[in-house]
Copies of this chain bind each other. A is one copy, B any other.
Amino acid sequence: MKITLIGSGNVAWHLGQVLQQAGHEIAAVYSPTAAHREELAEALAPAEAVNSLDLRATDVELVVIAVPDAAIASVAETIQVPKNAIIVHTSGSQPLAALQGITGARAGVFYPLQTFSKSKSVDFNAIHILIEAEDERTLQILQAVASTISKEVHHVDSLKRKQLHLAAVFACNFTNHLLGISRQLLQQAALPDTLLQPLIQETIAKVMQSHPFQVQTGPAVRHDQNVIDEHLILLQDQPLYQQVYQLLTQSIQDHSPKR
């Protein structure tokens, strides 16, 4: 597949490299910032760094838009591609309709379900790729491309992808924040940051095997009001954390009423 990448962020870097390694040709890289497109094009040599979204004179087959969510619509309205090229965006939270502004091309979604950091390489074979397209033929092509880099390819429509994104916010973004609060509490108590790491890893290992609601532990599920009260006192100078503690305790107890 002859591919042009739009964007130079973490998704563009990782996806570009893994697609190239899988034998696809990364023909060009576009970014409005010259230094960014040149750096990524060099990493993906012999890819060309281009400064125009008019790709009509090229023979690109697949355009991958890997830009911030808010920029997708404006790229879609500006970009021009050869007839029959496929244009996909890579966002978990945006519907297929975010590409409705494109003309003369087939639209799709190619969403690698992972959080990327430029400095950390990832194993795409372990990454689920969620695809969607406006017609069956395009879907088949995206399925074929995704299969060259991952064993886990799923056809998921826009509504389900939004529901998945919501689930990911709970499982990853909110979880990360709670781990941050926990780290802050350790620091306030002058305890080492690393103290809870084995416990956190065991917690995650457990939920890979069981439904989390079935292995819930702690004072909330035990309805241990003495401990809960003592914790709330420890949090009295941090009212927002106190509210978080109370609401999550309530939500846990809602699932496990006192016997």
- Chain A interface (Cβ < 8 Å from any Cβ of B): 69-70, 93, 113-115, 117, 122, 126-128, 154, 156, 160, 162-186, 188-192, 195-204, 206-208, 211-213, 215-221, 224, 227, 230-231, 234-235, 240-241, 243-245, 247-248, 250-252, 254-255
Contacts and interface: CB of A to CB of B under 8 A. Distances in A.
Given A172-B199, A176-B203, A235 B113 contact: no
Contact of A219 (B93, B154, B247): B93
A243 B250 CA distance: 11
A-side interface mostly: helix
A216 to B, nearest CB: 6
A228 B108 CA distance: 24
B255 A250 contact: no
Contact of A113 (B114, B117, B196, B255): B196
Given A114-B202, A199-B171, A240-B251, A179 B164 contact: no
Nearest to A117: B206
B234 A195 contact: no
A172 B203 contact: yes
A189 B168 CA distance: 13
Contacts of A230: 93, 162
A208 to B, nearest CB: 6
Contacts of A202: 114-115, 122
Given A178-B171, A185-B170, A114 B199 contact: yes
A173 to B, nearest CB: 3
